[in-house]
């Protein structure tokens, strides 16, 4: 019996979904071939060797050699499907390749103004455990924020039944201006100081490699790895929570700009000398659309008590209920926010012409954000070229969306380090 046939072959009952971009970027040829093979298999869930060779345009012999190396490294394994085994067990099932899910574990953490969330996923992208801790709103000192992160990761690992040392890397997301390459957060509403070395501080405290990114980029990574963007080359993701964030995928990769701080749609100006934004400037889109902006207006318009204003979520739900009940002031607040949102999205369409715009995050349950009049206004404000407008999809993932994106960041970094150690590691 040949060595390949002698290896244990794991049987899977149904096709897995896979994770990661389904269509590789045009620069994929710069990656080592074994990395390309691994990422193709992970994206597909599982894939026969002959199909890998066909999609990559290389010889079956090369694929066989490199997949043998990946199997020896414990990163891939041979699998068979139930449909390939028939006739009472007679005959030989077709053998495909799949990621060995337990090869590595990573964590993804999202730090926010009101709640920290985290997930652990395996190397195939399967969710192992999730956890959340609440916190008091407001900026924290860097040391306190890192301590809270350590507490969250510890609880998460306990829930998963593993030691923190089993994590190969941790992805960490925060709102604000983040230099991903250095792990420095230049400004964030959750950190009291500017130019905070968050990645270095968290890595030292946790004893694991930590990779940091802006939370909007992490939402975009979640869509690229697990959601609607897996098969698209160019798309935009807009998130509306306590702030307004945007991520953009160009050629299947996150676009970050020349200094890694691009795509700050929430801080583009829609009104000169307008409402005060939490960044310290005036007239930002965020100052009219984000939840703190709605709270600011609702507190006055609805004469809400100080007790009610202590919880943003409760206040927003109250505002939404008033609007649904026909309260003119509440409806006016939402209507204005929708118009400003339409203006921002029309500018995105005019600048980048994305194939798809995803409105993502927990706030998407408030349908004023994507009401017909809002979507119609986007079309009216965008250039009329005679071509179809970009699709707009609504994804209300919930709070774990950001943490999944942070996990995708960690997965991409670990993959790079394992399979392309000589290259400068760059996030997907």
79's enclosing H/E stretch is strand 76-81
CA neighbor of 361 nearest in space, from 330, 327, 316:
316
What whole-number distance in Å separates Cα of residue 246 and Cα of residue 214?
A: 10
Q: What's the CATH fold of domain 3-101?
A: Arc Repressor Mutant, subunit A (1.10.10)
Q: What are phi and psi of 46, to 5 degrees?
A: -155, 160
Model pLDDT, residue 8: 39
pLDDT score of 257:
75
The pLDDT assigned to 266 comes to: 83
Select the more confidently predicted residue: 3 or 193: 193
Residue 154: predicted pLDDT: 96
361 pLDDT more than 60: yes
pLDDT above 50 (res 368): yes
Q: Give phi and psi for 363, each to the nearest 5.
A: -70, -10
For residue 400, pLDDT beyond 60: yes
Return the domain boundaries, the chain. Answer: 3-101, 103-220+401-419, 229-397
Question: Is-same-fold flag (3-101; 103-220+401-419)?
Answer: no
Summary mean pLDDT of the chain: 83
Which carries the bigger pLDDT value, residue 205 or residue 137?
Answer: 205
Which CATH number applies to 229-397? 3.30.420.40
Provide the pLDDT for residue 101.
Answer: 95
Tokens 């009472």 locate to 88
Write the pLDDT tens digit of every residue in 43-100. Answer: 999 899 999 999 999 999 999 999 999 999 999 999 886 554 444 555 556 789 999 9
At 29 the pLDDT is: 58
Q: What is the CATH number of domain 103-220+401-419?
A: 3.30.420.40
Asked if 70 contacts 99 with a C-beta cutoff of 8 angstroms, the reply is: no
Question: What contacts 104, CB < 8 A, 6 or more positions away?
Answer: 122, 123, 168, 414, 418
- The pLDDT tens digits of the residues spanning 215-262 come to 889 989 998 998 888 888 889 998 877 778 889 998 888 888 776 667
250 backbone φψ class: left, alpha, beta (φ>0; ψ -120 to 50): beta
- Edge-first strand order for the sheet with 105-110 is 127-134, 115-122, 105-110, 167-174, 210-214
187 backbone dihedrals φ, ψ, rounded to 5°: -155, 140
């Amino acid at each position: 019996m040949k060595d390949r046939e002698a290896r244990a072959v794991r049987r899977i009952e149904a096709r897995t979904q896979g994770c990661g971009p389904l269509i590789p970027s045009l620069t994929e040829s710069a990656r080592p071939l074994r990395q390309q093979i691994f990422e193709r298999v992970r994206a597909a869930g599982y894939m026969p060797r002959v199909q890998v060779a066909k999609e990559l345009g290389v010889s079956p012999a090369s694929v066989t050699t490199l997949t043998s190396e990946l199997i020896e490294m414990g990163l891939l394994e041979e699998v068979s499907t139930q449909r390939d085994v028939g006739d009472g067990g007679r005959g030989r099932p077709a053998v495909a390749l799949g990621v060995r899910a337990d090869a590595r574990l990573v964590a993804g953490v999202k730090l926010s103004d009101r709640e920290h969330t985290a997930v652990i996923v395996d190397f195939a992208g399967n969710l192992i455990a999730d956890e959340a801790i609440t916190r008091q709103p407001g900026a924290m000192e860097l040391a306190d924020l890192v301590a809270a992160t350590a507490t969250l990761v510890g609880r998460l690992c306990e829930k998963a039944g593993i030691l923190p040392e089993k994590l190969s890397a941790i992805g960490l997301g925060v709102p604000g201006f983040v230099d991903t390459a250095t792990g420095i957060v230049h400004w964030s509403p959750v950190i009291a100081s500017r130019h905070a070395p968050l990645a270095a501080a968290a890595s030292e405290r946790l004893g694991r490699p930590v990779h940091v990114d802006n939370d909007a980029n992490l939402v975009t990574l979640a869509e690229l790895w697990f959601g609607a963007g897996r098969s698209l080359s160019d798309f935009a993701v807009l998130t509306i929570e306590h702030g307004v964030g945007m991520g953009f995928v160009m050629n299947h990769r996150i676009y970050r700009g020349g200094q890694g701080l691009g795509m700050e749609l929430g801080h583009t100006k829609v009104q000169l000398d307008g409402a005060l934004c939490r960044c310290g400037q005036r007239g930002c889109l965020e100052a009219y659309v984000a939840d703190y902006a709605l709270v600011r207006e609702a507190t006055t318009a609805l004469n809400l008590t100080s007790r009610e204003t202590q919880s943003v979520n409760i206040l927003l739900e109250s505002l939404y209920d008033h609007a649904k009940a026909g309260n003119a002031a509440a409806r006016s607040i939402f209507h204005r926010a929708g118009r400003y949102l339409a203006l921002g999205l029309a500018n995105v369409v005019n600048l980048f012409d994305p194939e798809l715009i995803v409105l993502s995050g927990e706030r998407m349950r408030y349908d004023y954000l994507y009401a017909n009049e809002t979507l119609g206004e986007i079309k009216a404000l965008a250039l009329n070229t005679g071509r179809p407008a970009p699709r707009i999809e609504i994804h209300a993932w919930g709070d774990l969306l950001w943490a999944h994106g942070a996990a995708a960041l960690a997965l991409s970094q670990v993959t790079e380090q394992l399979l392309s150690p000589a290259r400068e590691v760059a996030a997907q």
